[in-house]
A and B are shown apart, each in its own frame.
Chain A
Amino acid sequence: MALALMAAGCGGERGAAPSAVDPADVPEAERYGGTVVVGGLGEIQTMNAFVSSDYMTDQVQAYVLFMTLLRYDERLDPAPYLARGWEVSPDGNEVVFELRTDVRWHDGTPTTAYDVAFTFDRVKDPDVPYPSRSSFDNWETAEVLGPHRIRFTLRPHADFLNGWTALPIMPRHILKDVPPAELATHPFGTSEPIGNGPFRFVEHRPGDRWTFEANPDFPEELGGRPYLDRLVYRVIPNETTLFAELRSGGVHMYVRVAPELVEQVIEDPELRLVAFPFPNYSFIAWNSRRPFFEHAAVRRALTMAIDREEIVEAVRHGLATPAAGPVGPWHWAYDSARRPLPHLPDSAAVLLERAGWVDSDGDDVREKDGVRFSFELATNESRERRSIAELVQRYLANVGVEARPRVREHQSLVADVTSPERRFDAFLLSWQQGFVLDERDQWACDRIGRPLQFTSYCNPVLDAVMDSISQSTDRSDQGRLLRRYNELLANDQPFTFLYVERRADALRRSLQGVAPDFRGELADVGSWWLLEGAP
């Protein structure tokens, strides 16, 4: 089982496809045609790039319907896309982008530098609810130099091009007259989007599906017309129903398949699994205002009491990597030699004892200064996290610490943990990081009291490192700083970093050309094709 998972994890296939045709034998010219249905549990609400915030929506916008100025390559270096290239002034205060001249909106209008300037202006406008506006905080002005040339002024900072890899350029000729405050609700996003990407919009049936068709005019240099005729995204909010649709051929891909279904996917000869490292990690946040979690030594002891390898096997069926800190295996600065704290319950007990937590009344729970080491471990309704909370309860009981798991409705839990009063002892959640690891909102001393500084943890050395990371424009320098950042958090354990997800998708074997990496499953959607005669 573990071996099979590892094979699947490498994006490889287990066993030979039961079809008579070897996909490699199908000539390129015969790969065109067909409709692929992608099924997911979550709804895609809008094609309006100014308001989106969830993962699948961003994927469809950036890779299917629209184009971003730049894209990340597999090394997380910005690469040309709508922009053919760019030049940075020696002092780093100016960037000039040279755009492609052969990209048109799907209504025939050319995509120009005016669209880029328009998109930038709206993103900077506080009336537009663009959730990632902070990626453009250091960008100041835009000046169109010609139909396909645009100059920006900015303050030099780390990963300064990041914002342009995520923001789809929006059509100025359609949206320019919409008042910024009304952009979020303009029908463009939900019923009449016009893009310039490899697929064109066909139809949106809210709560049901989005349909797209191949754009025959997509530039050859960027892959040209996609192989597929049509791409459909269907929302099927129930796991059992979605999996039944996959097995019966109603959908070709089940995105982010539930871990407990992984074994069934591997055993089904008509299906295969692809998995890839994904910037989403699970953690337990310790509220350092509580007497139990004040000291790093105690937090380290708690982490050492928890068997993360076992959690990964039991709850994720192997589809995760135990985490040392916030820099995960998907990131270029990840140091695979830096092992997470080991699972050593005996050492954990010693650490707790040294910190003054002793069980003197024989009730199997330690106490100190009359306070029992007993706290509430809150989590949300997710089955995965409920199981982890129960395991953690057991691990901690072994070292004389009582964790009381409590399942909360997600929004209520979020409201409590982000409140300035920090109405929690410890909580267990997972979340998705950005590609740029500027996480000062979570850790910086001056953010204590702000919503994302859950733990009220403060380390001035870490602050200095984080500030340097945000300024560094040199990769080797940045790599060194990021490893230091990871190291400091691994030592202080304001969170117990449980694991970094390996995101897994289940596919029918007829669906070929899917080789996702951390950038997401739709990044290479133009090269997907359907193998005729395969299940």
Chain B
Amino acid sequence: MASGGCALIRFALRRLLQAVPILVGIVTLIFLLLHLAPGDAATAYFNPNVSPEIIDRMRENLGLDRPIHEQYFRWLRAFFTGDFGYSFGQHRPVSAVLADALPNTLVLSGVSLVLIFVVGCAVGAVQAVRQYSKLDNVLTFTSLFVYSMPGFWLGLMLILAFSSPALPDALRLPISGVTSIGYEFMGPLGKLLDRARHLVLPSVALGIASAAGVARYMRGSMLEVIGQDYIRTARAKGLPERQVILKHALRNALVPIVSLLGLYVPLLFGGSVVIEVVFSWPGMGRALYNAILGRDYPVVMAASFFFGVLVLAANLVVDLLYAAVDPRIRRA
């Protein structure tokens, strides 16, 4: 076991080292792409009242008149000393932009991730156990339907449904933002409840399609396990069905599902860009979206870097989890 632990640590370290060139590659590519796109932060002042001389001066002040390699190395040097620079559009340090936006995105994606796996696994397992029943058919149809819906459209439908003045107040849910107006006057419990209520619709819109995907995988994986000899053995030795399913089948069926986690985390961050705009959620996705439109390079660079870090970290966690749940991988 001790050697297994050591191997795991070595494995993790190797992966961390590999992450460095990947991240440098990501930021370099994004820097180049951004600067290849026509326009810069100063073109945002496209306005008959702003004289071109002032725009030239702004370009100079922001260092946008420098050659691209100079801008790149200057940015890279500052970045690796922890100085993310200032947002051109928000007029504040990029670190402050991240400090405000990142937690909001992590909460939203985290809740969605839990939703994806809990709902997905539960639905998939029920379908496998009741294979070819009416319930299985209905759930198959529903999950395929949900899976093929674009997230933003589903989000808009949820917004229209849950804000309808026809709905009794008790059933209505907040459709935009993170907190209500008057949040600062609420008690601690009220605040928590208020935040939770604001999370419901965006996390459903963000996660439901992936949950449907997980359900399909889970159903397949579960069916495969149920067909195995050891399940027949468990049944043959007289274990109650409940125990066979929950203890023997479910656990083994979950192993391949864990690897999906690594696939869904990047999807979540990608999806958050759209969902955060639709639900007016002040997170990284929206900050990134606005920054791209406004050519706010420092924010785009830092946001892409952190998305990159989060995706790589999620993949590492998945590999570690995988090793933890499957002894064969650990030994290899």
Contact = CB atoms under 8 A, between A and B. Distances in A.
Interface in A35-59: 35, 37, 43, 45-46, 48, 51, 53
Contacts of A48: 91
B282 A208 contact: yes
Contacts of B295: 411
A248 B91 contact: no
A358 to B, nearest CB: 37
A138 interface: no
A6 to B, nearest CB: 28
Interface of B: 37-40, 43-55, 57-58, 61, 86, 89-93, 96-97, 100-101, 156, 159-160, 163-165, 172, 174-179, 181-182, 184, 277-280, 282-283, 286-287, 290, 293-295
Nearest to A135: B49
Contacts of A132: 49-50
Contacts of B40: 411, 415
Q: Which of B40, B165, B177 has the most CB of A within 10 A?
A: B177
A237 B49 contact: no
A416 B38 contact: yes
Contacts of B293: 409-411
B47 A208 contact: no
B91 A452 contact: no
Nearest to A131: B50
A412 B61 contact: no
**Which 9 A-B pairs give the minimum distances between C-beta atoms?**
A207-B282, A411-B39, A415-B38, A415-B39, A434-B49, A412-B38, A248-B163, A244-B163, A236-B280
A433 interface: yes
Contact of B39 (A203, A412, A431): A412
B89 A131 contact: no
Q: Which of B92, B93, B179, B282 has the most CB of A within 10 A?
A: B92
A45 B287 CA distance: 12
B176 to A, nearest CB: 5
B42 to A, nearest CB: 10
A285 interface: no
Nearest to A45: B90
A208 B174 CA distance: 14
Contact of A133 (B54, B97, B164, B290): B54
Interface string A219-238: 00000000000001011111
Nearest to B295: A411
A415 B290 CA distance: 18
A102 interface: no
Interface in A127-163: 127, 129-134
Contact of B51 (A134, A203, A206): A134
A126 interface: yes
Contacts of B172: 248
Contacts of B156: 238, 240-241
Interface in A178-197: 181, 184-185, 187, 189-191
A414 interface: yes
A450 B63 CA distance: 21
Contact of A441 (B51, B89, B294): B51
B89 A433 contact: no
Given A131-B47, A207-B287, A412-B38, 9 more contacts: A53-B44, A190-B90, A240-B159, A241-B175, A244-B159, A245-B176, A248-B175, A411-B43, A441-B48
Contacts of B101: 206-207
A184 B93 CA distance: 11
B329 to A, nearest CB: 42
A478 interface: no
Nearest to A268: B165
A65 to B, nearest CB: 15
Nearest to A535: B165
B47 A53 contact: yes
A75 interface: no
Q: Which of B159, B280, B283, B293 has the most CB of A within 10 A?
A: B280
B39 to A, nearest CB: 3
Given A184-B91, A247-B165, A208 B44 contact: no
A241 B176 contact: yes
A185 B47 contact: no
Nearest to B38: A415
A418 interface: yes
A241 B280 contact: yes
Given A45-B90, A241-B280, A244-B163, A434 B48 contact: yes
16 contacts: A129-B57, A134-B50, A134-B54, A190-B90, A206-B92, A208-B178, A208-B280, A240-B159, A244-B159, A248-B164, A248-B172, A409-B293, A411-B44, A412-B39, A431-B46, A432-B49
Nearest to A435: B49
B184 A203 contact: yes
A74 B204 CA distance: 49
Nearest to B91: A46
B134 to A, nearest CB: 36
Contacts of B93: 185
A442 interface: yes
Contacts of B283: 207
Given A181-B61, A244-B163, A189 B91 contact: yes
Given A207-B100, A207-B101, A232-B181, A415 B52 contact: no
A185 B86 contact: yes
Contacts of B277: 237-238
